Amino acid sequence: MIVTTVSELPGFQVTRALGLVRGNTIRAKHLGKDILAGLRFLVGGEIPEYTKMMAQAREQAIDRMTEEAAAMGANAVICVRFQTSKIMAGASEILCYGTAVVLEREEE
């Protein structure tokens, strides 16, 4: 499955647009990681516990989006975007969305 932020790929042609697909996940902070992150916050710099959590959430959202696209018969998702929103204190949603399409290689 090709997943890209662009609407056109060199060497490929969109032969069918199947529609919007999306995947999301909601993640909450973990108390143990939150304490360690709080200590890191005091000294500054990256908070790797949250970086890892958000990376995993993005991957899960992409996986869910591509599963939906595959179920529609797509072999690619174009114009992919991410959005995040706060659901409640300590919990955020990651949403990944794009257009499911069928791509075919262009003949040279």
- pLDDT tens for 22-75 read 999 998 876 555 666 666 666 667 777 788 888 999 999 999 999 999 999 999
pLDDT of residue 28: 81
What distance in Å separates the CA atoms of residue 26 and residue 93, rounded to the nearest whole number? 4
User: In this structure, which topology does domain 2-105 adopt according to CATH?
Assistant: Translation Initiation Factor IF3 (3.30.110)
**Considering all CA atoms of the chain, what is the largest pairwise distance in Å, rounded to the nearest integer?**
58
List the domain boundaries for the chain. Answer: 2-105
- pLDDT tens for 7-26 read 999 999 999 999 999 999 99
Residue-by-residue DSSP string for 87-106: EETTEEEEEEEEEEEEEEEP
**Side-chain-facing half-sphere of 31: CA atoms under 13 Å:** 0
**Side-chain-facing half-sphere of 57: CA atoms under 13 Å:** 21
